[in-house]
Amino acid sequence: MVAKRAGVSQTTVSFVLNKVEGQNISEETQQRVYKAAEELGYVPDAAARTLARGVSDNIALVLTQPHDAVFSDEYVAYVLTGIVQVVREQGFRVFVEMVDTLTQSDAYTQLAKGKEVAGLIVLPYNSRKRDVNRMLKLIDDGFPIVSIGRVGTATEIPEKLATVLIDSLYGIQQAMAHLISLGHERIAAISYAPEGATHESERRLQIYKSMLDEEGIRFNKQLVAYANYTPQSAVDAMNNLLELENKPTAILALNDVVAFGAMKAIESYGLRVPEDIAVTGYDGIHLAPFLSPALTTVDAPNVQQGRLAADMLLNLINSKPLASRHIELQPELIIRESCGYYLKQTKN
Amino acid sequence: MVAKRAGVSQTTVSFVLNKVEGQNISEETQQRVYKAAEELGYVPDAAARTLARGVSDNIALVLTQPHDAVFSDEYVAYVLTGIVQVVREQGFRVFVEMVDTLTQSDAYTQLAKGKEVAGLIVLPYNSRKRDVNRMLKLIDDGFPIVSIGRVGTATEIPEKLATVLIDSLYGIQQAMAHLISLGHERIAAISYAPEGATHESERRLQIYKSMLDEEGIRFNKQLVAYANYTPQSAVDAMNNLLELENKPTAILALNDVVAFGAMKAIESYGLRVPEDIAVTGYDGIHLAPFLSPALTTVDAPNVQQGRLAADMLLNLINSKPLASRHIELQPELIIRESCGYYLKQTKN
DNA sequence: TCTTTTTACTAAAGCGTATTAGTAAATAAA
DNA sequence: TTTATTTACTAATACGCTTTAGTAAAAAGA
């Protein structure tokens, strides 16, 4: 079509529009091709192009979730945004796949083998060992995969799997140090996941324990409660803590949604945050500063996490060397009102 | 590959795997094909398939936003979830495209003409007239497009454009009626967008005005403030209202993010919600019940909106008749604590 | 002047599937 | 028994692009 209109061969059109190097096409011919393409509103057929090239221009973000669960998590939105921002500059598009690892465990393989995408970014927080093995097999076959965060139940990050993590060790340490520096000793932790459900939540609890240890505070099992991803379950967990004879004076919420629920429970109970009980969160959701009291939380750079994962993936796709297979980003404690830090400051 | 292994022709393989009707393939041959495909882990090449069929198995969700803006809106996440849930059952995948309507105004056309997708679902809240015209032209060419919500600045919904709306007239009316029934007369409205920026925000303000009118309350221009999509801008807007000599006794926040900001501003100012000032929101974000006080808000069924849009799109793609080109969903006022309704109840 | 190199292109094959038109063998109808 | 129909397949083309191998004409080198 374009070829006819410009009076050249299809080959020439392809060379011109793709700016293929090493082909001496005269300036004049090039202009003619561009003009013809412009006039016809030509857009190359994506499928034909992919078929001929053998590689797709798409990548997928794979979320491991039961697929009727709503991804209400801001976290995912942030990561996705980061990814889209980066890959679009190289002409890639992004699929969002919600994979129920129980019923569609071959989803990774489908995407890869069908050449639907050139690479995958995976949020594997609910995935099983079987899924991980599938991923590793694909990687061995040379298929690019980057993981964001730790794999669900696995204790170790597979060396082969490119990963972008957020250093929760550092984050939780900061939060705990902050609470301790404010004089708290009866610090309770509320996990966002059931006991043993994910490696990451267990890890955060572990850090909580070791921080207590370092400070010579005895770990008390009663002061650990488990929510179930929803804010309501966090309310319930907090209510259990409030029924203890020796109530905690501070709450380390393992994510912000839990912190929301905990604060709600505390105030419904008739106590005040931070005067009676201090609360810290983790994630840095964008409404955290606008709670009353504003939530002190560990701000994790999630957009950045998405961007870096996308960067890594593009490098893998283009067979460029990776600076590192495992990137760790530093979160930052943002001190606001929910721990009473500024209250103390003013008093002095 | 599969053909050789099963000892049949490529054609037969295609017929079997695609379950093509009217082809008499013996049960035995079918089993042989299935077995061979299974053993080889065969996954059809997506690009080749699309090329041969002439239609893609993908759709795109197009977000009109400056593409460096983070889509922190839960709203988008909900809609996306609904869409993915529905289309995946028919074997479709979903692209997420973030389109800056200023710099990439031909994005719709690219996707359609490149046959990258079989149809589009558009969230057009920031789109310009030019974009709308492009969409309408594509529709005229028979390309399936469904819009979620009203087109950015347009006053009318184009008849040709299939649309899934949420009836904000009904929603805002309920919220206003609730505030008025609680005795409020000095009701201020805070828009989530700058004056005149989007049709939807202006529409909500219009409903606010007409409700005042109906109740014989004089409209006071001073009682309208404008935020700029972020919670911080809502804080600023609220602070302006708090500086009025005659402070409002109730705030109609035009979305929940604004409500968050407004409540924060009120409490920072030293007043209480709902005792001094009542607040209603709009959207029903999932943290609304866990604010203190819990936010009374108009709950919009956004997942459902996504599902219905996906349904419509699939019908358009399959050239099935649409029951209606314009669907309107009813939101529902959820009464919680931020207006003092239960406070009054207890008093009596 | 004759040969080599460079310039500016093109013909044709190939990517992996869907699909149309067709065929040989088996069965049914006349 | 002959003809028509049905069953069970297959050969070959098309989809629209990329890319390899090649060619004719012009320029450079000997």
Residue A348, both tokens? 């002095």
> pLDDT at position A132, please?
87
Kindly report, residue by residue over A295-308, the tens digit of the pLDDT: 999 999 999 999 99
pLDDT at A185 over 70: yes
pLDDT at A154 over 70: no
Lookup: nucleotide whose C1' is closest to B12 CA = D9
* Confidence bin at A213 (pLDDT 50/70/90): very high
pLDDT at A86 over 60: yes
**A56:B47 CB<8 A:** yes
> pLDDT at position A106, please?
80
pLDDT at A338 over 60: yes
List the nucleotides on chain C closer than 7 A to a protein CB: 7-12, 14-21
**B48:A47 CB<8 A:** yes
Residue A42: closest CA among B113, B254, B220, B312: B113
Residue B297: closest CA among B16, B6, B19, B74: B74
> pLDDT at position A199, please?
84
Kindly report, residue by residue over A101-124, the tens digit of the pLDDT: 767 768 888 999 999 999 999 998
B226 touches B189 (CB < 8 A): no
Please state, in angstroms and as integers, the Cα–Cα distance from residue B346 to each residue in B163, B297, B333, B341, following that order: 43, 21, 20, 9
> pLDDT at position A295, please?
97
pLDDT at A347 over 60: no
Query: B264 CB near a chain A CB, below 8 Å?
Result: yes
Q: Who has greater pLDDT, B152 or A198?
A: A198
> pLDDT at position B168, please?
93
Residue B174: closest CA among B299, B329, B301: B299
> pLDDT at position A184, please?
97
Q: Please name the member of A43, A73, A287 whose beta carbon is closest to the beta carbon of B109.
A: A43
* Confidence bin at A313 (pLDDT 50/70/90): very high
pLDDT lower than 50: segments of chain B: 348
B220-236 burial, b if ≥16 CB within 10 A, otherwise e? eeebbbbbebbbbbbbb
With beta carbons under 8 A apart, name residues in chain A contacting B288. none
> pLDDT at position A289, please?
94
* Confidence bin at A99 (pLDDT 50/70/90): confident
Hey, what amino acid is at A108?
Y
Please state, in angstroms and as integers, the Cα–Cα distance from residue B315 to each residue in A326, B85, B87, B147, following that order: 45, 16, 11, 14
Contacts of B236 (CB under 8 A, 6+ apart): B227, B265
From the CB of residue B31, how many other CB atoms can be counted at a distance below 10 Å?
12
> pLDDT at position B88, please?
92
> pLDDT at position A236, please?
98
Taking residues A161-190, report their average pLDDT. 96
10 Å CB burial of residue B177 (0-12, 13-18, 19+) is middle
CA distance A160 to chain B (A): 23
B155 touches B199 (CB < 8 A): yes
> pLDDT at position B346, please?
62
Contacts of A181 (CB under 8 A, 6+ apart): none
Query: B45 CB near a chain A CB, below 8 Å?
Result: yes
10 Å CB burial of residue A1 (0-12, 13-18, 19+) is exposed
| Span of A66-70, A164-168, A251-255, B117-121 with lowest mean pLDDT | A66-70
Query: What is the rounded distance in angstroms from the CA atom of residue B16 to the CA atom of residue A187?
Result: 63
Q: Please name the member of B80, B115, B261 whose beta carbon is closest to the beta carbon of A45.
A: B115
> pLDDT at position B67, please?
57
Q: Please name the member of A46, A96, A303 whose beta carbon is closest to the beta carbon of B96.
A: A96
> pLDDT at position B10, please?
93
> Which neighbouring-strand residues pair with B225?
B190
Mean residue pLDDT of chain A comes to 91
Kindly report, residue by residue over A235-265, the tens digit of the pLDDT: 999 999 999 999 999 999 999 999 999 999 9
> pLDDT at position B152, please?
66
CA A71 to chain centroid, in Å, comes to: 12
Query: B261 CB near a chain A CB, below 8 Å?
Result: yes
> pLDDT at position A72, please?
63
Query: What is the rounded distance in angstroms from the CA atom of residue A92 to the CA atom of residue A87?
Result: 5
> pLDDT at position B284, please?
93
Residue A146: closest CA among A124, A126, A167, A129: A124
> pLDDT at position B71, please?
64
Name the H helices within chain A.
Answer: 2-6, 10-17, 27-40, 46-53, 74-88, 107-113, 129-140, 168-181, 199-214, 231-242, 256-268, 302-317, 341-347
> pLDDT at position A66, please?
63
Residue B298: closest CA among B208, B183, B209: B208
> pLDDT at position B111, please?
93
> pLDDT at position B237, please?
98
CA A205 to chain centroid, in Å, comes to: 19
Find the distance separating the first CA and the last CA of chain B, reported in whole Å: 80
Residue B46, both tokens? 């997506």
